[in-house]
């Protein structure tokens, strides 16, 4: 997901913060296993597929750093970033928040409920909530049909807010009787507008959306205000879909569609391999391109490295695929979130994707499934990769680029990082938040938080008042929050150092 224009303009963060963050990193770097990989950048080849040599995935060398070597700053390892507020949202049943977007100083979060406000109209209903910068939450908005409805992604830019999700409703002239994707505008109070169904006769899903920011100086200007991209998967052939890769389709494919401010599709691209493929996350570049990440069981973006691999694909505003690359190991791997950072005009533009690996993508494996973060240049060439985790299962599910720092969040069932006692005792599956150096991929710090039950992170965003906000769900109760019972939607806000700004986030 890419948030609104005030939340994620082109990165113009002052470099004076580098010394401070470098100091923080020295204090906590021993907590994780990190791999940094630097590749020479060539001119961007048009319409190419890039493929990393599998041998390169274990490279740990990095270019000499030009960052400041100021003395380390004293920091509380349990609280490397200050907590602002925490909120649990829901009713007596099971509720979830699947995505969050900054809208000016507030945030808009979307998900699903089996009765947060009142009885559902079907299996589950969509749930939307608006939370002010001080943590004051408006009454959740609930909407649904005779089937199961879920809002999976939300994005805000240029005064527009759009949510996308999936419904298996039989109602309406466009309903097919099978799951369809949909997109709908979101009003100021969180109410969903008219849903536009996007799908065919097979099973179709939309899981993430990113609205393009206003064109910066030198931008393409090929996306109108309120336009963006939604991604997901289909088990058939999407209406009006084209295959830009030429690799052949089948057994489930990834989908990216350009949508207008009302959620109507402008074009649809279906791509993948002969094996199952799905898109999981999307963000936009400074020039209005779509950066799509997902999972492939075959050769969707290069040669299969074994098992499932993650992939990153870049599309221009007309739907042409500029490049694609496959990331993985001999085991199962996935990429589920992506963020854009840097500036194209300064040659610092990069795209950072996060997910998990069951093998070796970085320098060393911690065991089980590890969190993995990979940075790519504007031409799709790998700049660095970081792999870290515990002996258990660790996954990155959300990424945010904020100037010199990349924040990644996810879940872990092991002791990843230092437990934050200000949010709860931890236990079961916990959430984590980590900060990485945007240039090298070095992990600066990692903190873990959660209730005594299971907690999950689904999205990340920032606001114009300098908040970093995570969305997710909890089966317990975090300190400072109130639970209504069952599983609640979860929002946790932290204060970005120096007030934040210049951020780009994704789910």
Helix (H) or strand (E) holding 112: strand 106-113
pLDDT of residue 213: 85
Are β-strands 241-242 and 265-271 bridged in parallel, bridged antiparallel, or unpaired? parallel
Q: Which burial class, exposed, middle or buried, applies to 47 when counting CB atoms under 10 A from its CB (0-12, 13-18, 19+)?
A: exposed
Token look-up 């224009």 returns: 5
User: pTM of the prediction?
Assistant: 0.84
Query: Tell me, what DSSP letter sits at residue 186?
Result: B
pLDDT of residue 248: 66
b/e map of 303-329 (b: 16 or more CB within 10 Å)?
A: ebbebbbbbbbbbbbebebbbbbbbbb
Q: Which pLDDT tens digit goes with each residue over 271-294?
A: 998 899 999 999 999 999 999 999
Q: Is 184 helix (H, G, I), strand (E, B) or coil?
A: strand
Residue 38 lies inside a defined structural domain of this protein: yes
335 contacts 60 by C-beta, under 8 angstroms:
no
How far from chain centre, in Å, is Cα 384? 18
Residue 72 lies inside a defined structural domain of this protein: no
pLDDT of residue 277: 94
State the CATH number of the domain containing residue 249. 2.130.10.10
- Parent domain of 23: 15-65+85-165+181-215+224-506
pLDDT of residue 130: 97
pLDDT band at 502 (very low <50, low <70, confident <90, very high): very low
Q: Looking at 260-391, which runs of residues are DSSP E strands?
A: 265-271, 277-284, 290-296, 309-315, 321-327, 333-341, 350-357, 370-376, 382-388
Q: Which pLDDT tens digit goes with each residue over 148-205?
A: 999 999 999 989 999 999 998 765 445 566 899 999 999 999 999 999 999 988 999 9
110 contacts 151 by C-beta, under 8 angstroms:
yes
Calculate the alpha carbon distances from 236 to 148, 270, 288, 382, 448 in Å: 20, 10, 28, 32, 40
Residue 1 lies inside a defined structural domain of this protein: no
Domain count, the chain: 1
Residue 341 lies inside a defined structural domain of this protein: yes
With a cut of 70, say whether residue 48 has pLDDT above it: no
Contacts of 55 (CB under 8 A, 6+ apart): none
Residue 71 lies inside a defined structural domain of this protein: no
Q: Which burial class, exposed, middle or buried, applies to 43 when counting CB atoms under 10 A from its CB (0-12, 13-18, 19+)?
A: exposed
pLDDT band at 9 (very low <50, low <70, confident <90, very high): very low
pLDDT of residue 300: 79
With a cut of 50, say whether residue 102 has pLDDT above it: yes
Residue 43 lies inside a defined structural domain of this protein: yes
Candidate from 57-71, 175-189, 303-317, 452-466 with smallest mean pLDDT? 57-71
Cα–Cα dist 506/353, whole Å? 9
Closest CA to 387 of 368, 371, 403: 371
Joined tokens for residue 288: 């209005």
pLDDT of residue 92: 87
Residue 186 lies inside a defined structural domain of this protein: yes
Residue 338 lies inside a defined structural domain of this protein: yes
Contacts of 159 (CB under 8 A, 6+ apart): 225, 226
Contacts of 211 (CB under 8 A, 6+ apart): 2, 4, 155, 156, 157, 158, 160, 162, 226, 227, 228, 284
Q: Which pLDDT tens digit goes with each residue over 237-284?
A: 888 888 877 666 778 999 999 999 999 999 999 999 889 999 999 999
Candidate from 119-128, 167-176, 199-208, 310-319 with smallest mean pLDDT? 167-176
Cα–Cα dist 342/502, whole Å? 9
């Amino acid at each position: 997901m890419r948030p609104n224009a005030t939340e994620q303009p082109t990165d113009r963060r002052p470099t004076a913060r580098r010394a401070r963050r470098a100091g923080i990193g020295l204090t906590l770097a021993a907590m994780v296993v990190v791999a940094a990989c630097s590749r020479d950048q060539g001119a961007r080849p048009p319409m190419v597929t890039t493929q990393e040599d599998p041998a390169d995935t274990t490279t740990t060398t990095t270019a000499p750093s030009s960052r400041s070597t100021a003395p380390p700053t004293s920091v509380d390892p349990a609280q490397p970033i200050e907590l602002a507020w925490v909120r649990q949202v829901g009713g007596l049943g099971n509720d979830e928040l699947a995505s969050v977007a900054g809208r000016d100083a507030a945030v808009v979060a979307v998900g699903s409920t089996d009765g947060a406000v009142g009885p559902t109209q079907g299996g589950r209903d969509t749930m939307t909530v608006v939370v002010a910068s001080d943590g004051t939450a408006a009454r959740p908005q609930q909407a649904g049909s005779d089937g199961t409805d879920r809002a999976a992604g939300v994005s805000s830019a240029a005064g527009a807010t759009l949510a996308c999700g999936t419904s298996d409703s039989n109602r309406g002239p466009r309903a097919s009787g099978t799951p369809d994707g949909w997109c709908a505008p979101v009003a100021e109070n969180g109410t969903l507008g008219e849903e536009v169904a996007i799908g065919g006769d097979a099973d179709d899903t939309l899981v993430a959306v990113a609205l393009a920011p206003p064109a910066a100086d030198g931008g393409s200007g090929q996306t109108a205000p309120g336009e963006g991209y939604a991604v997901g998967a289909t088990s058939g052939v999407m209406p009006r879909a084209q295959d830009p890769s030429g690799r052949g389709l089948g057994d489930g494919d990834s989908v990216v569609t350009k949508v207008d401010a009302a959620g109507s599709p402008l074009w649809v691209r279906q791509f993948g391999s002969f094996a199952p493929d799905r898109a999981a996350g999307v963000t936009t570049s400074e020039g209005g391109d779509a950066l799509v990440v997902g999972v492939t069981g075959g050769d969707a973006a290069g040669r299969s490295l074994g098992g499932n691999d993650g992939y990153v694909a870049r599309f221009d505003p007309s739907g042409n695929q500029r490049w694609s690359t496959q990331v993985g190991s001999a085991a199962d791997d996935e990429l589920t979130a992506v963020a854009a950072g840097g500036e194209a005009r300064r040659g610092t533009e990069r795209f950072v994707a996060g997910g998990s690996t069951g093998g070796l993508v970085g320098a060393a494996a911690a065991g089980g499934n590890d969190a993995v973060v990979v940075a790519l240049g504007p031409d799709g060439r790998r700049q660095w990769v970081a792999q870290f985790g515990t002996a258990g299962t660790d996954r990155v599910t959300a990424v945010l680029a904020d100037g010199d720092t990349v924040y990644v969040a996810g879940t872990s069932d092991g002791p990843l990082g230092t437990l934050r006692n200000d949010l709860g005792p931890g236990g079961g599956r916990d959430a984590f938040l980590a900060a990485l150096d945007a240039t090298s991929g070095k992990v600066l710090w990692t903190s873990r938080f959660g209730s005594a039950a299971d907690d999950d992170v689904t999205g990340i965003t920032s606001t114009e008042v300098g908040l970093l906000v995570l969305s997710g769900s909890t089966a317990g109760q975090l300190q400072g929050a109130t639970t209504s019972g069952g599983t609640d939607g979860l929002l946790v806000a932290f204060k970005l150092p120096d007030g934040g700004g210049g951020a780009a986030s994704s789910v």
